[in-house]
Amino acid sequence: MDAPTAKATRITGVARVKLRGQLKTAYEDGASIRQLAAGIQKSYGSTHSLLAEAGVDFRNRGGQPRSRG
């Protein structure tokens, strides 16, 4: 049987406010949500929620536009 995994810790209070500010700055400087999530070892969804709480204006998804052929 596999060893039990550690329960994820919640980020609350002052630590959450500080993290939101750091994530917002990094995102606005060009980091992707996936890069930020990996850096804080949280899921994409959790990181997206923190950015939304911070009031980030999200970028459009990248890539080339599809041709209308």
pLDDT digits (tens, 9 = 90+) for 51-66: 999 999 999 887 556 6
Residue 24: domain span: 13-53
pLDDT at 29 over 80: yes
> Residue 41: left (phi > 0), alpha (psi -120 to 50), or beta?
left
Q: How many domains does the chain have?
A: 1
CA dist., res. 26 & res. 47, Å (int): 12
In a domain, 69, yes or no: no
In a domain, 45, yes or no: yes
pLDDT at 30 over 60: yes
In a domain, 65, yes or no: no
pLDDT number for residue 62 = 74
The model carries a pTM of 0.78
Residue appearing with tokens 């810790």:
9
